[in-house]
Chain A
């Protein structure tokens, strides 16, 4: 059944939901990247929790008007208004008082969420008989979603994604160097407002699928995972979008094959699996790569120190150094250099002397900037430059 869901064989509605969730994930990953780079990711948590009172009040208002209280468009409108108020409250506290923004976010988030829960509880005591389903906005519920809802979600996701694409340059500039961007005439307030509006749009689109408690995860986890793979903001946004889209798609498919499970947690767990894989396996920034790099550097440093000690006739104190030299056949177990070891040691000493000269002479500065204590100098200088250095070293009696 899961396979059927993943290959879109579960019927028209489940297919629409999966596509909608994928578009939601794409837009969330892309938007989240710019929140992440602007260091405003947590603000989206305040936005999402602040939607709850709006959902409840919109339901009450629509029911009182004799409409269907569960109409998604109406509920989203209500949640947009209350989330907007929540954002304003955070902004007002952070700019008008001396409280830091994280304190404002914490206060607004919990107060709005508490108010929302009170309103939902009141609705349950009302005799409307049709309130069931609002709880689905907390953790996401795609089972029994209307076709029009799925289309609304897919359309909203696609539109948000297009807007992120349109605004990526000013958003990148504001995140990297806001002072420079402002000096060049960019309106930072407008840029930040647009970024918040995009985060709000993602939250609204994601309410039905992921739920307001977990939507922040879909905005933060894909960019955080993407950061491990790339050093370019554009590539990061694209990759985060793909990871988010994949999470949405797989999560919705899992949910379709197991309707008892809420959709939001499944989407988030899928994203978390992708994040964990990135954290471990990414080629340069990943933990495994970092661990291997550390071991390699440690080995190279010890080998070099050992050779220099041999060259200068100093004793080798560290067991690890001695073991390395032993294994490489450069020294005997008692720390005395082998013939090969003496040759290597002389080479290391010459390299040090050449580097010392290169680094003291401004003519070699561009190359000397590459000095890291380990890199052999012949990988940096041309043979001519090396010959010049050796010619200057020779009179000082350094073995050439």
Chain B
């Protein structure tokens, strides 16, 4: 699926697109983020395919996490639009589940595993609605899906890194969304956790959901994902692995940072 290259200039009101984006669970147009004078992400268009497992890959400092955070409105966009199933982001929050990087929170926070999962239901609980038995059961089910049901009553500071990541995934499951956005879910976790997470993500896809991960391990892209977005400040390529995850695109994304022979091997393995 060829995309028009070059810059897309987005109008602030998002009305200028004739393009119908309602088929895409997440579509970014002309997304630019800048923390100072230098853009961290520059005029990026991404159209996530429904029911795909999409990896956002690129070298360190390529703006992968920033792209995800800007798509969620966590960091401000300098320009660009975000649509979720064709609707503006703020009208579609309940469609989205988010798994932030594990290191982004203070794990000595006074809370238990089950309470973290219940935070995934904040939209339905609101300010004052009491937490009922069925909420707790659902939270326990989400923990069971990631193999953490025995830890429900633990203080979160007692968990290992992999267990923390699984609790974050359970919280996202509790959001009952159709689009799952994960920021480096496999970073610094043990092999068992990686297997547990990927099996949950694959089952989500089998249920018809869409999964997007910021991912850093090129050697597993072919096993885990169906689509890829290659990013280095600008978007280099996107699409099914066979089209996007190619030697040529990897070379363009990583430049001299990967040995050429290695790139060829990775791309071959994916196809």
- Give the total number of A-B pairs whose CB atoms are below 8 A apart: 79
Nearest-CB residue, chain B, relative to A36: B110
Nearest-CB residue, chain B, relative to A188: B74
Nearest-CB residue, chain A, relative to B121: A184
Q: Does B93 contact A (CB under 8 A)?
A: yes
The smallest C-beta distance from A384 to any residue of chain B, in angstroms, reads 19
Q: Does A96 contact B (CB under 8 A)?
A: no
Determine the distance from Cα of A362 to Cα of B191 in the docked complex, in whole angstroms: 10
A166 with B127, Cβ < 8 A, contacts A37-B109, A231-B112, A232-B111 known: yes
Nearest-CB residue, chain B, relative to A39: B106
Instruction: For A180, give its contact among B90, B126, B127, B171 (CB under 8 Å).
Output: B171
Q: Does A387 contact B (CB under 8 A)?
A: no
Contact with B along A233-249 (1 / 0, CB 8 A): 10110000000000000
Residue pair A365, B192 in contact (C-beta under 8 Å): yes
Residue pair A179, B128 in contact (C-beta under 8 Å): no
Nearest-CB residue, chain B, relative to A233: B110
Residue pair B110, A230 in contact (C-beta under 8 Å): yes
Stretch from B45-53, B97-105, B134-142, B223-231 that touches the partner: B97-105
Chain B, interface SS category: mixed
Residue pair A186, B74 in contact (C-beta under 8 Å): no
Residue pair B160, A173 in contact (C-beta under 8 Å): no
Q: Does B178 contact A (CB under 8 A)?
A: no
Nearest-CB residue, chain A, relative to B111: A233
A162-190 CB contacts (< 8 Å) to partner B: 166-167, 169-170, 172-173, 175-177, 179-186
Residue pair B122, A186 in contact (C-beta under 8 Å): yes
Determine the distance from Cα of A367 to Cα of B46 in the docked complex, in whole angstroms: 44
Residue pair A177, B128 in contact (C-beta under 8 Å): no
Residue pair A184, B105 in contact (C-beta under 8 Å): no
A169 with B127, Cβ < 8 A, contacts A176-B111, A179-B104, A180-B119 known: yes
Determine the distance from Cα of A89 to Cα of B122 in the docked complex, in whole angstroms: 33
Q: Which residues of A contact B197 (CB under 8 A)?
A: none
The smallest C-beta distance from B67 to any residue of chain A, in angstroms, reads 14
Residue pair B150, A184 in contact (C-beta under 8 Å): no
Nearest-CB residue, chain B, relative to A168: B127
The smallest C-beta distance from B154 to any residue of chain A, in angstroms, reads 9
Determine the distance from Cα of A183 to Cα of B72 in the docked complex, in whole angstroms: 5
A180 with B155, Cβ < 8 A, contacts A186-B122, A227-B110, A231-B110 known: no
Residue pair B72, A182 in contact (C-beta under 8 Å): yes
Residue pair A173, B150 in contact (C-beta under 8 Å): no
The smallest C-beta distance from A358 to any residue of chain B, in angstroms, reads 14
Determine the distance from Cα of A177 to Cα of B164 in the docked complex, in whole angstroms: 13
The smallest C-beta distance from B128 to any residue of chain A, in angstroms, reads 7
Q: Which residues of A contact B181 (CB under 8 A)?
A: 183
Nearest-CB residue, chain A, relative to B191: A362
Residue pair A231, B127 in contact (C-beta under 8 Å): no
Nearest-CB residue, chain A, relative to B96: A183
Residue pair A183, B74 in contact (C-beta under 8 Å): yes
Q: Does B123 contact A (CB under 8 A)?
A: yes
Residue pair A173, B110 in contact (C-beta under 8 Å): no
Q: Does A366 contact B (CB under 8 A)?
A: yes
Nearest-CB residue, chain A, relative to B192: A365
Q: Does A369 contact B (CB under 8 A)?
A: yes
Q: Which residues of A contact B109 (CB under 8 A)?
A: 37, 175-176, 233
B66-88 CB contacts (< 8 Å) to partner A: 69, 72-74
A-B contact pairs, 21 of them (CB 8 A): A37-B110, A169-B125, A169-B126, A170-B122, A172-B119, A175-B109, A176-B111, A176-B116, A180-B98, A180-B100, A182-B74, A183-B93, A183-B96, A183-B181, A184-B175, A185-B90, A185-B123, A231-B111, A231-B157, A233-B110, A366-B150
Measured CB to CB, the residues of A under 8 A from B are 37, 166-167, 169-170, 172-173, 175-177, 179-186, 227, 230-233, 235-236, 362, 365-366, 369
8 additional contacts (CB under 8 A) given A362-B192, A369-B160: A170-B127, A176-B106, A176-B119, A180-B100, A182-B73, A183-B98, A232-B115, A366-B147
